[in-house]
Amino acid sequence: RYAKSVEEGRAAGLRSIEDAQRLGFDYFRIAAGGFCASDYDEWRQDPNAWWAAFDQMVKDAAAHNIRLIPSIAWFPYAFPDMANEPLGKLFDPTSASNQLLKQYTRELVSRYKDSPTILFWEVGNEFNNRADQDLTTLGTAQGGDTCNRNKVYTSADNYSSDQLAAF
């Protein structure tokens, strides 16, 4: 959702699909949602528009014989940020952030579970990168974490490999 409009986003996505086909690729991995919590505003406020845009992307890929590998939660902070919870809560099955991710996953997977365009699903992108780390040593969010609004990490953001495996 980094495009200024749905049309601009579709045009950019279609160029990527056409480039992949031209270069001989028959599948690629995609972020199946937003990066920051605000990127999901349309999903929460106008789910019909959100899913219509996603439907069009899947149709565009199918029309070019490209299969997709959707990464459902590309950036792990998005769902905790939507729920105003620390990152560590994402791995707690009773938390609001975990419930939001489950809701999004159910909607996405149930919508496309029979689509031959979906090669397979990925739950999250590189969630292991921050497991078993003391995120408090990072101080204030930097770089790719900038959508965390100058977030200061606390011990509640930490999570373990065991929590990730159970997730």
Round to whole Å and give the CA distance between 115 and 66.
Answer: 12
**pLDDT of 143 strictly over 80:** no
**pLDDT of 1 strictly over 70:** no
The full length of the chain comes to 167
Round to whole Å and give the CA distance between 90 and 99.
Answer: 9
Q: Which residues of 32-54 are buried (b: 16+ CB within 10 A; e: fewer)?
A: bbbbbbebbebbeeeeeebbebb
Which tens digit of pLDDT belongs to each residue from 112-140? Answer: 999 999 999 999 888 898 899 998 887 76
Determine the 3-state secondary structure of 118 from DSSP: strand
- Report which of 139, 65, 50 is spatially closest to residue 103, judged by C-alpha positions: 50
Which tens digit of pLDDT belongs to each residue from 28-78? Answer: 999 998 888 888 989 999 999 999 999 999 999 999 999 999 999 988 889
